[in-house]
Structure 1
Amino acid sequence: MTARTGLSWSRDRSRCAPGPRDGRTGPSFADATPEQVRATLIPEEAVEFDQRWREAMVEATQSLDLAGVLARLGEWRSIARRTAARGAEEHRALYWHAAVKLTGAELPPDMPLHKVKALLGL
């Protein structure tokens, strides 16, 4: 990434692509591409990203409106930023601790993330 332009050179595509910009707590992901966002996510959320991204693209194709795609990308950029700032294990733990607090239950520490997120209504 060049300091002057905020663009990173994409070697596999002879073009410049905007990338995550560094902020006080790490990359901001404000201009991150879907590919860059997905690469930052933990594997469980990358699968979810793929599914939701495809749904948004189908909706956009039918409606000819990119608002849903852009909104979805914004949501995932935020998740990628938090994941990058905390690291994968702390990111998973964040969901687990929230579910414990919300439910008041003792949850197994190895509970699959999709079950933890379901307890949170996510």
Structure 2
Amino acid sequence: MASPAESTARGAPTVPPDADPGAIRRALSPRLAEEFDVEWAHALDQAKASMNLTGIYQLLLKWRGIAAAEQRDPGAHFRLLAKAEQILQTGQHPGAVPVEDLHALIGERLGR
């Protein structure tokens, strides 16, 4: 049986996995599952030490989003990270529209 990440066509609507660590992990690629495991272990340790589950909830919310994005478009998370790194290193966002062009487009659409 195909995993959820394999069974969804690119760009098709997807339902995020349940907010359950096992469901989230099953929706991830092996490489992302390893990262999830590290963060999950850290969040559990923090929750035990602080007796506060906020970090667990935040982690599940974050990884649910990543899993849903990966189901729609496998590799999307790593492409996003690579693009962010490129922007940070160069100060440039390739393909970005200058703000002046956006203002002009807004003005045009508003009939100004």
Corresponding residue of 1:38? 25
The 5 A counterparts of 1:1-122 are: 25-29=13-17, 31-88=18-75, 90-104=76-90
Corresponding residue of 1:15? none
In structure 2, C-alpha distance between the alignment counterparts of 1:72 and 1:81, rounded to whole Å: 14
Bigger helix fraction: 2
Change (3 A) 1:98 1:62: closer
> Percent of counterpart pairs with the same letter?
31
Structure 2 residue ranges without an equivalent (≥5): 1-11, 92-112
How big is the alpha-carbon RMSD for the aligned residues of Structure 1 and Structure 2? 2.2
Residue correspondences, number: 80
**With structure 2 as the length reference, what TM-score do the two structures score?**
0.59
Structure 1 residue ranges without an equivalent (≥5): 1-23, 106-122
**With structure 1 as the length reference, what TM-score do the two structures score?**
0.55
Corresponding residue of 2:105? none
Offset, 1:27: 1.4
Q: Which has the higher contact order (CA 8 A, sep 6+)?
A: 2
Bigger strand fraction: 1
In structure 2, C-alpha distance between the alignment counterparts of 1:98 and 1:64, rounded to whole Å: 34
